[in-house]
Amino acid sequence: MYENFGQFIDNKWHKSKDSYDVINPSTEEILGSASKASEQEVEQAIQSAARGFISWKNTQAWDS
């Protein structure tokens, strides 16, 4: 179900090296797996978000 996804960082998809099971809480059935971000990927995402905030914080809604 989720095998083709990874992390979307800096406008690019990064394939994940690790994943975890997605479980239906009512039946405990495994629905699929989702990508798990590494510490490095989390740090890259935080830095990317900080850069994006700098460019977007002064953008008016009608300019976006």
Per-residue pLDDT 10s for the chain (64 aa) are 455 678 899 989 888 888 899 999 999 999 988 889 999 999 999 999 999 998 888 888 776 5
Q: Is residue 38 part of a domain?
A: yes
**Structural domain span for residue 34:** 7-55
Q: Is residue 2 part of a domain?
A: no
Q: Is residue 63 part of a domain?
A: no
pLDDT of residue 55: 82
Q: Is residue 24 part of a domain?
A: yes
Q: Where are the beta strands (DSSP E) in the chain?
A: 7-9, 12-14, 18-23, 30-36
pLDDT of residue 4: 64
Q: Is residue 36 part of a domain?
A: yes
State the Cα–Cα distance between residues 6 and 9, nearest whole angstrom: 9
pLDDT of residue 14: 87
Q: Is residue 27 part of a domain?
A: yes
Q: Is residue 60 part of a domain?
A: no
Domains identified in the chain, total number:
1
pLDDT of residue 33: 86
3-state secondary structure of 60: coil
